[in-house]
Amino acid sequence: MPHVTEKLHQDHEKVEKMFKKLLQTKDDDASTRQKLCQQIATELRAHMEFEEKVFYPALRQAGDGAGEKVRHSVHEHNEAKQLLDQLISCDPKSEEFLDIAGQLQEAVEHHVREEEDSIFDLAQEKLEDGDAEQMAMRHDTMAREYKQQHAAR
Ligand SMILES: [Fe+2]
Ligand SMILES: [Fe+2]
């Protein structure tokens, strides 16, 4: 099993690609926008849930300002969640749609950059290999469960 940060990095890349597709859609392609929006929402929510419930708590005690980094990250998650809610409730045919999508994409990109630059280093340094691999497995299980639950709605 790879290190948990590899799993998280893969999620980051996946969402980045979805955003690229979304930002290229036209105002008359509401169904593609809706579909991509739902995919992005599911990916982001599953990812943030894992980080908030499993990954961040494991790092909180690691020293080197970890507590502050985690608090800052959770704050950025909350900002992203608000933008995501705005995007979901926005009419996909409206002029604001791509504007909100762009704001969310930027917020996520900024967060991902910070996370990969500071939190991932900390995780690679402080987590025991066994724990990091176990967390990677937990990541996959939680993501699968989240997606099953939300497909069933
Ligand atoms: Fe992340
Ligand atoms: Fe995050």
Residue 109 has pLDDT above 90, yes or no: yes
Query: For 125-144, what is each residue's pLDDT tens digit?
Result: 999 999 999 999 999 999 99
Residue 60 Cα, ligand 1 centroid: separation in angstroms?
A: 15
Contact 52, 80 (CB under 8 A): no
What percent of the chain is predicted at pLDDT more than 70? Answer: 99
Tell me the whole-structure pTM to 2 decimals. Answer: 0.95
Residue 9 Cα, ligand 1 centroid: separation in angstroms?
A: 7
CA torsion, points 69, 12, 18, 52, in degrees to nearest 10? -50
Confidence of residue 1 (pLDDT cuts 50, 70, 90): confident
Model pLDDT, residue 150: 86
Q: What angle do CA 114, 6, 50 make, to 5 degrees?
A: 75
Helical spans, DSSP H, in the chain: 4-24, 30-50, 56-60, 66-89, 96-114, 120-126, 129-151
Residue 136 Cα, ligand 2 centroid: separation in angstroms?
A: 15
What domains can you pick out in the chain, each with its CATH number? 4-151 (1.20.120.520)
Environment of ion ligand 1 (residues, CB < 5 A):
8, 115
Residue 152 has pLDDT above 60, yes or no: no
- Nearest ligand for residue 9 CA: 1
Greater confidence (153 vs 61) lies with 61
Model pLDDT, residue 55: 97
Query: For 60-102, what is each residue's pLDDT tens digit?
Result: 988 888 999 999 999 999 999 999 999 999 999 998 999 999 9
- Nearest ligand for residue 56 CA: 2
